Structure 1
């Protein structure tokens, strides 16, 4: 089964993460598929992209099982380079991007959602960075994207928190642009068609003006995140966080 699904309808590209039984947690193969699909989407004639997840979640983030293989530096570098390429592809996508969030958008999953121009979320959706729970810092451009939406102080505190905020609170914070009581994907589709009826060339000029100006800053964040993740993966706190996750217990961190 394809881990990323892709369909086109009326000048809108729909991209779905497709590991519903794993809450769309992303492993290496899924990330590579995502990059391939986004490369194809970038080249097509559609004007809007809707990013969502199959099943009950947008994405629970990086697959915890993949982290076992991160002791191999070559594997780690390969995965992180793919994540960087995805983040840059989404940020510089020459189309309007909408994230349709239902269920959990956590960790790397939230970074992907935040890369969109608009975030539509169900009121019961849950958004959280949660990297701190396994002794890590955000990746996928999460630091940059959160700072853009929340400002530095609030972004730091959100990253350090281990809780997920529901849709209504996320909207109040500025993480969500449109809240819905119904299906987030359906609402995102309606938004896409409203956008298609707008002066899109003007919209895209504004988007690319902002994003091109900030591109080098995003690249610097991505480089720093990769270096930080490798260093943090060597810590006792990270090992304890992963072990506690596997054992379904609260971690006992020591700051080392």
Structure 2
């Protein structure tokens, strides 16, 4: 199906694996367009309730493939971002389903941005996040200037981005950059804890909550109160709401279908 990705869908869990391990899953033109397509597929597929994004081999994603881009005569950064990277980040944040980052190794540059665009990050202790843009005289892109200060505050975000700091699993957890850190041999089990939950959860409500939280960073309280009311009316008409109430009254566990 894809040349540079692995794609699986098992029991409501879609796993998308960046698959260029020989270059630490660096991002060339092909893999970025394939990732855009894969995100469209999970959005259309009603059987998918949760997405896992990870990397093959030792790395999660080392960022832009500098060797590939150096062979181009004249590279337009703005075109690259508009056509390749920004559509990925927008698709991830607009996807009405949770995305779990299985952070198995280094996430650098745009790879770090992609990790931060996920809804939950579960990292191995030796995994590392680093905003390496400054090391080659570039600025943050692919959403890192948006995500970083919201996760760690403006002062820490400035330090991490302007110094290209390398943040390993435990420190990343301590500063609020990721959700969970575990030994490497427990990574799959830790990710499964989340996918087991989200694959059985009320997906429609979770998708709306994701949209609400995205919106809240640039909205007033009054705007969010109105938006909450709008979304709650939709949620209250869902099959999952009816099932949730019925299960509560019957004193049993709800069997949500994500509708």
TM-score using structure 1 length? 0.78
- Aligned partner of 1:104 among 88, 103, 106: 106
CA–CA distance in 2 between the matches of 1:70 and 1:210? 39
Task: Note the 1:86-235 alignment, pairs <5 A.
Answer: 86-181=88-183, 182-213=185-216
In structure 2, the CA distance between the partners of 1:118 and 1:163, relative to structure 1 (3 Å rule), is same
Matched, 1:60 2:71: no
Q: Aligned pair in 2 of structure 1 residues 20, 123: CA closer, same or farther (>3 Å)?
A: same
On the 8 A contact 1:50/1:189 being kept in 2, the answer is no
What root-mean-square deviation, in Å, do the aligned CA atoms of Structure 1 and Structure 2 show? Answer: 2.0
CA distance in 1, matches of 2:154, 2:100: 24
8 Å contact kept, 1:102–1:121: yes
Q: TM-score, normalised by structure 2?
A: 0.77
What is the deviation of 1:43?
Answer: 0.9
Gaps of 5+ in 1: 217-256
Partner SS for 2:27: coil
Offset of residue 160 of structure 1: 1.2
> Which residue pairs with 2:248 in the alignment?
none
Structure 2 stretches of 5 or more lacking a match?
Answer: 220-259
Change (3 A) 1:183 1:64: farther
How far does residue 66 in structure 1 lie from its aligned partner after superposition?
3.5
Once the two structures are TM-superposed, the CA of residue 213 in structure 1 deviates from its matched residue by 5.0
CA distance change for structure 1 residues 71 and 178 in 2, over 3 Å: closer, same or farther? same
Kept in 1: contact 2:96–2:206 (CA 8 A): no
Q: CA deviation at 1:47?
A: 1.1
What do the CA deviations read for 1:95-134 (whole angstroms, capped 9, x no partner)? 0110000110111101000111100000111111111111
Larger radius of gyration between Structure 1 and Structure 2: 2
Q: How many residues align?
A: 215
How far is 1:88 from its partner? 0.3
Deviations 1:48-80 (CA, angstroms, capped at 9, x unpaired): 01000000010111111244256625x544421
- The answer for the alignment partner of 2:37 in structure 1 is 36
Shift of 1:21: 0.8
Distance 1:26 1:36 in 2: 15
Look up the SS of the partner of 1:190 in the other structure. helix
Decide whether aligned partners of structure 1 residues 131 and 98 sit closer, same or farther in structure 2, where only a CA change above 3 A counts. same
Q: Which residue of 1 aligns with 2:15?
A: 14
Q: Secondary structure at the match of 2:211?
A: helix
Q: Secondary structure at the match of 2:58?
A: coil
